[in-house]
Chain A
Amino acid sequence: MLATWLALQPGVGRAEPDTGATFVGQASCRACHAVEADHWSPTVHARLAQRPRNELERLGCEGCHGRGSEHLKDPSNPQLILAFTRESGTSVEAMNGMCLECHAGGPRIHWNGSAHERQSLACSDCHNPMSKQSPRRLLAKQTVAQTCFTCHPAQRAQFRKRSHMPLLEGKISCSDCHQPHGSSTDPLLRGDTVNQLCYTCHAEKRGPYLWEHAPVIESCLNCHHPHGSNHQGLLIAPAPFLCNQCHDQPGGFGHPNDLLVRGNLADGDFPDGRILNRGCVNCHAQIHGSNHPSGARFHR
């Protein structure tokens, strides 16, 4: 019964302009657009058209581009066919509406009102369904990262810093952490919080621990740059200065609030472990939280 009811649900509204045109069939399109058809043929959309589940998929080219009869009469008039490029003059809303006819919902349920939608981005800014340019997802460029860097060049530079996630090494992609089609968490994150997202790969940091470090459980970004940093471990500043930002506990003997300078380096007159090697976490090794009954200061 559920399946029957679901099957009776109408599709999401079609955004095709009303030009009074009729369908002409895929063969007519191919007659002129042989190169485009050739590039399109290995794509997932072409496979779908080979075994359509509904009338829309059976339409092939016109399933996305709309009825072609008027375009056939006057091919130079861009208003008579729905195209997805800048020069077509088609509104972004109309372009996206056509894509969402099949792709609404699911991972795109938050598209409406999302950061990219508000910036008037079209689906075809990031995707090129006419060619299999990327191994998956019909991206406009070969990788997710290349696609994102088009508008986010600063992130490309960050991933080139000394300490970075293995994105340029092909082991993760922007879309592992970000949902470009909208999310209930800024900035387009796949998790409910930054930490929930980070724990996806760093599950050992999830705890919960007996002894927690307050800024750690609230946001990993309090101490880490997620895209890249000049410091070890994606830290926003090197130890001990990172820790000095929040800690000024007196020990009576200068720990941890004395200023460490050149003379405290390994070749200085008074080497100090807090500025050497791993800095403060030489001792506070469990800075993300400790499950040791004696780990109140993250030493164990």
Chain B
Amino acid sequence: MKRPAAVLVALVTAAGPALAQAAPGNTLNPSGGNTTRVTDERGLSDLLSIRRRSPAGFLYPDPLVPDRLSDLAGGWRYGGSLEFGGLWTTGNDDETRFSEFTDWSDGAFLEFFDLTIEHPESGFYADANGGSAGRDDQYYYGKIGLPGLVDFEASFSGVPHLFAGDATNIYEGSGSGVLRLPEPLVPGDNGDAEIVGVLETTPESSLKLQRDRSQLSLEFHPVTALTLFARYSFDDRSGERPFGGSLIFDSGGEPERVVETTEPRDSHTHNFTGGAWFRSSMLLANFEFQGSLFRNQDSTLTWDNPFLLASFNGAQNVKRGRFALAPDNHWYNVKGDVSVVLPWKGRLTTTASWSRARQDADLIPPTVNTGLVGFPGFNGVNLDEWNTEAALSRSHADAQVDTLLLNARLDLRPLDALRLRAGVRYYDQQNDTRYTARNPSTGQFGYIAEDGALNVFDLSRVFVPGVESDDFRYRSSPFDYRKLDYEINADYQLLGRTTLSGRYRREQIYRDEREREKTRENQARVGLTSRDVRWATLRASYEYRDREGAPYEYFPNRKDYVSSLPGYVPFLEFLGGETPPFTLAQLRQYDIADRERHEAKLSANFLPRDDLDLSLATRFVDQDYGASYGLEGERWGNVDFELGFQPSPVVQTYVFGHFEARHRELASINDAFVFPPSSDPNAGGTVFPLDNSWMLHTDEVSWGVGTGIRLQAVSHIVLDVNYLFVQTEEEYDFDIAGPGALGTGLTAAQDLPNLRTRNHLLQSSIRFSIIERASLRLFYRFERSTIRDFSQRNLVPEEVLLSSGALFLGHIDRNFDVHVIGLTLQIHL
């Protein structure tokens, strides 16, 4: 469905159904609420002198002036408002990060509208609102119904996503599934100087994606105890985004040959949900069915090879590369929850959920190219034997994953002061997808790596029994896992509103095809919550976790590699060559490594005065993976404070601050060139000598402050000013045992430049009432941002091509200063 049609669906059904969760809005109106409303000077109440706080102790914001409805004939009432005007930006307003999710186009715009119609006697009501009409970030919401009986909702939200405003894209057909080189370039036979010539005449362009989401929903309450509901959402995405495109990676001195292509996105997702909720004094029950259908209009991306890879071994035959893009898929889920009342003020709540994800897309041939590539008699391959469906071991993906969740939680209160809980949760993810890369027409295991580019040099991914080969994967591993958690909790009421809690939890995960078949983690937590003191609410907790597991097998998928096949011969076997190790045996992948974790949290909100809120929150986490290599450990912590001052309904001000620090340590060993090849996987061995070891220390510090004030004078003038500053900085320090830790040619491990961002954001508006039902609003927004990112430093496409062999789009996040000015007229109907 194209975009106008998607908008139409939502608009038409604004008189019919829409969504439940997402509240559409945009940058200028994040809440999607009525921008014309002001604070009610009467406050929450005219009876009480004290300001009201939530039970946790936070001041309630003073309410907005309620919408006024006017009478119509027949007992109908209506009300509405409108804000429209002009918007202008100056400065670096084409910078990607400024416009990432927002349409800041200059000119007239509709900031907001809403309309309410109701008929109190029958109960019928209809609400509609929206904003930014006609722009990429437009949003609409509508709801009609009879309260307590039936509600229809409809919503639409446009989400622009700008990836680059400065892409140097030499390809023709960007946004489609076929990228062609412009003249005079020809696929697979261009020198770098010729490509640079084209780059120099290619104008910069934008890469962006538009996501439009329409949602419809219906809730029907035939009786108080029962709710039936149905929802449908339609997600439409169109555009393009930066993507990869490799031909030769760093495989032995040859320059990398990688192209940054653009992936087309023209996809739809249909989501369906339906179910029922039932409740009685003894029983609560939910049943829900969900379905999701993803449909991609572009199943492949084919791009011309801009490079001349070499002048031998059929390099000119590597004319193109081809991706298989995200296939159509579908997912279904059936879920039921039941909760029953038990003695001892108890409750047992159980959940069962089953789902299936499946895709069965037509598979494309292993390569798009034709002809011979590689050294004859060694790694030579006739691509004509691999570029048709006859080269596939099966024609369809036939990929499927089933999941099952069973969850039960028991809650009992044997004493007024004691509460006990126990829970068990079992999750099973079953992957039935195993693909074997085998060409039935040649009888060979393997595939064509990078559309034949690898074969031009010295590698191949086609296995020939008896011929020397490196080890590579020829069969997929169906990763799946089963997870069992169980826990017990006790809460003891020490005082009237002070509770001490304790929890023990054990998590066991059984994985197939991973380095560890089983991990188990013990978790213990103690916490305290107190509202007994009049002037504060306090929360504190400490949690300890300890994960360990089965022995770590550093090469668990050995059976899926060609070294497991009969006839496998490692390189240079006749000289004693062995198969190089899959990886460093002592490296630990952090998601399954041993781990000792400490976490402490403290939060407090104080009530120092009747009109003042002060809150503090801090958290500290320390994780040690017990690994000699890989991610060794990380620590992070943050402190936040906020002070809110509401002396009267017409004066509100706040200040907040945030500080966060994070430290990570990563260690590894660069492998040494060993002749003949060795299979030694151990640290300190021939392949991974300790002289090649290195360590990275990363330190991140982020902090920010914000403040704002809202003043409302005599209800005719409203001033709102907010300022925010945020800075993040990451420092990368290296330790190396010797120059062997580094890549070819380097001898010193100079630290990377710090990664840093700084942002200032000032937002202000002033609103004047000009007549009873109309106001003028003038708003001003200033945004200044600076950024320093080493991965984008001096990323000039022509220069990078000549120095590293990579053809990038050249997008760089840049510093920017942007001023936004808006003048609008607000009208209340």
Verify B61–A135 contact, CB threshold 8 A.
no
Interface residues of A in 197-240 (CB under 8 A from B): 199-201, 203-212, 214-215, 217-219, 222, 230-232, 237-239
Asked if A74 lies at the interface with its beta carbon under 8 angstroms from chain B, I say no
Verify A292–B364 contact, CB threshold 8 A.
yes
Among A13, A121, A162, A283, point to the contact of B56 (Cβ < 8 A): A121
- A90 and B347 CA atoms in complex are apart in Å by 23
Verify A249–B431 contact, CB threshold 8 A.
no
* A88 → B minimal CB distance (Å): 8
In the assembled complex, which residues on chain A have CB atoms less than 8 Å from the CB atom of B805?
273
Known: A184-B425, A252-B674, A294-B447. A208 touches B399 (CB 8 A): yes
Asked if A105 lies at the interface with its beta carbon under 8 angstroms from chain B, I say yes
- A256 and B729 CA atoms in complex are apart in Å by 26
* B274 → A minimal CB distance (Å): 14
Mark B257-278 against chain A: 1 for CB-CB distance below 8 A, else 0.
Answer: 0101000000101010000011
In the assembled complex, which residues on chain A have CB atoms less than 8 Å from the CB atom of B63?
39, 128, 130-133
In the assembled complex, which residues on chain B have CB atoms less than 8 Å from the CB atom of A170?
23-27, 29-32, 139
Asked if A18 lies at the interface with its beta carbon under 8 angstroms from chain B, I say no
Asked if A277 lies at the interface with its beta carbon under 8 angstroms from chain B, I say yes
- A112 and B489 CA atoms in complex are apart in Å by 13
Verify A252–B280 contact, CB threshold 8 A.
no
- A233 and B146 CA atoms in complex are apart in Å by 44
Asked if A30 lies at the interface with its beta carbon under 8 angstroms from chain B, I say no
In the assembled complex, which residues on chain B have CB atoms less than 8 Å from the CB atom of A267?
793-794
- A121 and B539 CA atoms in complex are apart in Å by 12
Known: A53-B148, A204-B326, A246-B589. A86 touches B57 (CB 8 A): yes
The count of residues in chain A whose C-beta lies closer than 8 Å to any C-beta of chain B is 163
* B641 → A minimal CB distance (Å): 8
Interface residues of B in 784-829 (CB under 8 A from A): 787, 790-796, 799-800, 803-806, 808, 813
Q: Which residue of A lies closest to B293 (CB)?
A: A203
* A135 → B minimal CB distance (Å): 4
Asked if A17 lies at the interface with its beta carbon under 8 angstroms from chain B, I say no
> Which among B281, B367, B584, B734 has the highest number of chain A CB atoms within 10 Å?
B281
Q: Which residue of B lies closest to A136 (CB)?
A: B23
Mark A102-136 against chain B: 1 for CB-CB distance below 8 A, else 0.
Answer: 00111101101100001111101110101111111
In the assembled complex, which residues on chain A have CB atoms less than 8 Å from the CB atom of B43?
35
* A139 → B minimal CB distance (Å): 9
Verify B33–A196 contact, CB threshold 8 A.
no
Mark B376-407 against chain A: 1 for CB-CB distance below 8 A, else 0.
Answer: 00000000000000011100010111010101
Q: Known pairs A241-B698, A273-B258, A293-B324. 11 more at Cβ < 8 A? A: A53-B221, A126-B54, A128-B63, A153-B656, A170-B31, A192-B333, A206-B292, A208-B431, A273-B805, A293-B392, A296-B437
> Which among B101, B146, B226, B353 has the highest number of chain A CB atoms within 10 Å?
B101
Verify A285–B44 contact, CB threshold 8 A.
no
Among B58, B421, B501, B630, point to the contact of A246 (Cβ < 8 A): B630
Verify A6–B278 contact, CB threshold 8 A.
yes
- A175 and B704 CA atoms in complex are apart in Å by 25
In the assembled complex, which residues on chain A have CB atoms less than 8 Å from the CB atom of B165?
none
In the assembled complex, which residues on chain A have CB atoms less than 8 Å from the CB atom of B400?
208
* A296 → B minimal CB distance (Å): 5
Asked if B746 lies at the interface with its beta carbon under 8 angstroms from chain A, I say yes
- A9 and B280 CA atoms in complex are apart in Å by 6
Asked if B472 lies at the interface with its beta carbon under 8 angstroms from chain A, I say yes
Verify A161–B728 contact, CB threshold 8 A.
yes
* A138 → B minimal CB distance (Å): 11
Verify A6–B223 contact, CB threshold 8 A.
yes
Verify A125–B403 contact, CB threshold 8 A.
no
- A267 and B401 CA atoms in complex are apart in Å by 46
Verify A276–B589 contact, CB threshold 8 A.
no
Asked if B663 lies at the interface with its beta carbon under 8 angstroms from chain A, I say no
* B827 → A minimal CB distance (Å): 19
Asked if B640 lies at the interface with its beta carbon under 8 angstroms from chain A, I say yes
* B453 → A minimal CB distance (Å): 9
Verify A300–B450 contact, CB threshold 8 A.
yes
Known: A135-B33, A208-B357, A300-B323. A6 touches B66 (CB 8 A): no
The 8 A-B residue pairs with the shortest CB-CB distance in the complex, in nearest-first order: A285-B244, A170-B25, A51-B123, A250-B671, A283-B246, A105-B279, A204-B326, A170-B30
Verify B44–A35 contact, CB threshold 8 A.
yes
Asked if A44 lies at the interface with its beta carbon under 8 angstroms from chain B, I say yes
Interface residues of A in 245-300 (CB under 8 A from B): 245-255, 257-267, 269-279, 281-286, 290-297, 299-300
Verify A296–B472 contact, CB threshold 8 A.
yes
Known: A119-B539, A171-B24. A203 touches B753 (CB 8 A): no
Verify B339–A169 contact, CB threshold 8 A.
no
- A86 and B450 CA atoms in complex are apart in Å by 65
In the assembled complex, which residues on chain A have CB atoms less than 8 Å from the CB atom of B120?
50-51
- A91 and B493 CA atoms in complex are apart in Å by 13
Verify B476–A230 contact, CB threshold 8 A.
no
Verify B349–A109 contact, CB threshold 8 A.
yes
Known: A259-B670, A259-B749. A212 touches B476 (CB 8 A): yes
Binds B, one of A20-28, A61-69, A142-150: A142-150
- A185 and B427 CA atoms in complex are apart in Å by 10
In the assembled complex, which residues on chain A have CB atoms less than 8 Å from the CB atom of B82?
none
* B448 → A minimal CB distance (Å): 5
Q: Which residue of B lies closest to A264 (CB)?
A: B743
In the assembled complex, which residues on chain B have CB atoms less than 8 Å from the CB atom of A11?
224-225, 280-281
Verify A131–B57 contact, CB threshold 8 A.
no
Asked if A81 lies at the interface with its beta carbon under 8 angstroms from chain B, I say no
Binds A, one of B189-197, B248-256, B544-552, B769-777: B248-256
In the assembled complex, which residues on chain B have CB atoms less than 8 Å from the CB atom of A185?
405
- A169 and B335 CA atoms in complex are apart in Å by 32
Known: A113-B409, A160-B759, A266-B796. A206 touches B294 (CB 8 A): yes
Verify A113–B246 contact, CB threshold 8 A.
no
Mark B307-323 against chain A: 1 for CB-CB distance below 8 A, else 0.
Answer: 00000000000000111
Verify A269–B745 contact, CB threshold 8 A.
yes
Asked if A95 lies at the interface with its beta carbon under 8 angstroms from chain B, I say yes
- A205 and B149 CA atoms in complex are apart in Å by 38
> What are 14 A-B interface contacts by the 8 Å CB criterion?
A9-B225, A151-B56, A171-B24, A199-B331, A206-B331, A248-B630, A248-B669, A250-B584, A254-B744, A259-B741, A262-B790, A265-B794, A290-B324, A294-B461
Verify B668–A259 contact, CB threshold 8 A.
yes
Among A95, A270, A285, point to the contact of B744 (Cβ < 8 A): A270
In the assembled complex, which residues on chain B have CB atoms less than 8 Å from the CB atom of A118?
489, 491, 501
Asked if B47 lies at the interface with its beta carbon under 8 angstroms from chain A, I say yes
In the assembled complex, which residues on chain A have CB atoms less than 8 Å from the CB atom of B54?
85-86, 122, 124-126, 140
* B539 → A minimal CB distance (Å): 7
Among B147, B489, B582, point to the contact of A47 (Cβ < 8 A): B147
Asked if A1 lies at the interface with its beta carbon under 8 angstroms from chain B, I say no
* A82 → B minimal CB distance (Å): 12
Q: Which residue of B lies closest to A261 (CB)?
A: B749
Verify B286–A105 contact, CB threshold 8 A.
yes
Asked if B355 lies at the interface with its beta carbon under 8 angstroms from chain A, I say yes
Verify B23–A106 contact, CB threshold 8 A.
no
- A266 and B793 CA atoms in complex are apart in Å by 7
